[in-house]
């Protein structure tokens, strides 16, 4: 884990309230893996001491720059959205355990709910570079919230669902999951807790292994404050250190207090 002052090289509003930010951060980018996250100091002064966690969305080919994809939901993300090219941002990372592609897995099914696309693009890039096939199920509330297709690797097979039916199939992305489970060797999901609970209810995890990225409030991101502790079948686990990637079936969903 490294602390690095990263320089903003681009910050664009891709979808309403969703920003794609590129940062020159060679120390972190050079060792980052899909599923890792960074703790970002989102402002100056005492009130911004508490860093905010963000998934590493992508790393460029030279491994000098990394990207974050974030939704503006509060003070910290608002501050980030206002940063300009050349501004410096204090990062800690890479943190967490990362996704794990099993040896022998050829067909990877990625399931993204809304901003849950953030860590999955990096995973898709890595899988494709290793010769694996990737299908991405992407669900949002409406068409304007969809991640632009031209920013995805062209080899990804993209399937879309929107809740209001303005693009792709009308409904939740999990409605489409059963159609693809048979094809997949492994499933990787990132989205709201309700999406994970639906997958549990659909029983998909019994037929195919499902890895999820768990989003909880984090104090330190370093395994120090215990603020991110969750109950799993193998005991208490810290999301920042033991996660954020977990096997779906390991989490005691009924006891999750988010
Ligand atoms: C491992 C990890 C990876 C993440 N990756 C991304 C990402 O790639 N892109 C992205 O947009 N967001 C991501 N998040 C969520 C992100 O950290 C929060 O949105 C951010 O901390 C909000 O900061 P804020 O100061 O703007 O909001 P605050 O003012 O702190 O809070 C505003 C609202 O957001 C809610 N909120 C704050 N933090 C979280 C959280 N961790 N989980 C759920 N709700 C929260 C609060 O309850 C409140 O309603 C990730 C979280 C984790 C734990
Ligand atoms: S956020 Fe502090 S221990 Fe995980």
Domains and CATH numbers, the chain: 2-95 (2.40.30.10), 108-202 (3.40.50.80)
- 75 has pLDDT over 80: yes
**Using a 6 Å cutoff on CB, does residue 50 contact ligand 2?**
no
Is there a contact between 71 and 20 (Cβ–Cβ < 8 Å)? no
Alpha carbon distance 199, 207 (integer Å): 11
If you take atom 39 of ligand 1, which residue's CA is the nearest one?
217
Counting atoms of ligand 2 from 1, which one is nearest the CA of 229? 4
CA 130 – ligand 1 centroid, Å: 31
- 247 has pLDDT over 70: yes
Q: Is 154 exposed, middle or buried (0-12, 13-18, 19+ CB in 10 A)?
A: exposed
Alpha carbon distance 202, 196 (integer Å): 10
Looking at residues 26-49, what average pLDDT do you find? 92
Counting atoms of ligand 2 from 1, which one is nearest the CA of 225? 2
Looking at residues 52-67, what average pLDDT do you find? 97
- 32 has pLDDT over 70: yes
Confidence of residue 146 (pLDDT cuts 50, 70, 90): very high
The share of the chain scoring above pLDDT 90, in percent, equals 91
Exposure class string for 8-42: b at 16+ Cβ within 10 A, else e: bbebeeebeebbbbbbbbebbbeebbbbbbbbbbb
Confidence of residue 205 (pLDDT cuts 50, 70, 90): low
Counting atoms of ligand 1 from 1, which one is nearest the CA of 71? 11
Alpha carbon distance 232, 251 (integer Å): 4
- Shortest-distance ligand to the CA of residue 230: 2
**Using a 6 Å cutoff on CB, does residue 15 contact ligand 2?**
no
Distance of CA 200 to the CA centre of its chain: 19
Counting atoms of ligand 1 from 1, which one is nearest the CA of 213? 1
Counting atoms of ligand 1 from 1, which one is nearest the CA of 76? 25
Looking at residues 208-213, what average pLDDT do you find? 95
The share of the chain scoring above pLDDT 70, in percent, equals 98
CB-based pocket (< 6 A), ligand 1: 37, 42, 52-55, 69-71, 73-77, 115, 118, 215-218, 244
Structure-token match 């994809």, residue found: 69
What is the pLDDT at residue 258?
63
What pTM, to 2 d.p., does this model score? 0.96
Looking at residues 181-201, what average pLDDT do you find? 95
What is the pLDDT at residue 86?
98
Question: What's the chain's Rg over C-alpha atoms?
Answer: 17
Structure-token match 């990637």, residue found: 245
**Using a 6 Å cutoff on CB, does residue 249 contact ligand 2?**
no
- Shortest-distance ligand to the CA of residue 236: 2
Candidates 103, 111, 124, 130; CA nearest to 212 is 111
**Using a 6 Å cutoff on CB, does residue 221 contact ligand 2?**
yes
Is there a contact between 119 and 69 (Cβ–Cβ < 8 Å)? no
Confidence of residue 50 (pLDDT cuts 50, 70, 90): confident
């Amino acid at each position: 884990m490294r602390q690095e002052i990263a320089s903003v090289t681009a910050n664009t509003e891709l979808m309403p309230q969703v920003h794609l930010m590129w940062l020159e951060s060679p120390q972190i980018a050079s060792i980052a893996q899909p599923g890792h996250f960074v703790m970002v100091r989102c402002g100056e002064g005492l009130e911004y001491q508490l860093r905010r966690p963000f998934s590493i969305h992508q790393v460029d080919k030279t491994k000098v720059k990394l990207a974050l994809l974030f939704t503006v939901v509060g003070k910290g993300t608002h501050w980030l959205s206002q940063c300009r090219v050349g501004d410096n941002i204090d990062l800690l990372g890479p943190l967490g355990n990362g996704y794990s592609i099993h040896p022998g897995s050829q067909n990877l099914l990625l399931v993204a709910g809304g901003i849950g696309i953030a860590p999955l693009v990096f995973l898709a890039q890595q899988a494709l570079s290793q010769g694996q096939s990737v299908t991405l199920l992407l669900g949002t509330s409406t068409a304007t919230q969809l991640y632009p297709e031209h920013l995805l690797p062209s080899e990804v097979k993209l399937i879309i669902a929107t809740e209001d039916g303005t693009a792709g199939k009308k409904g939740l992305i999990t409605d489409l999951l059963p159609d693809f489970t048979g094809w997949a060797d492994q499933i990787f999901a990132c989205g709201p807790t309700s999406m994970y609970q639906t997958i549990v209810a659909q029983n998909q995890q019994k037929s195919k292994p499902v890895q999820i990225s768990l989003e909880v409030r984090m104090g330190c991101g370093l395994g120090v404050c215990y603020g991110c502790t969750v109950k799993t079948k193998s005991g208490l686990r810290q999301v920042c250190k033991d996660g954020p990637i977990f096997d779906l079936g390991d989490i005691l969903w009924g006891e999750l207090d988010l």
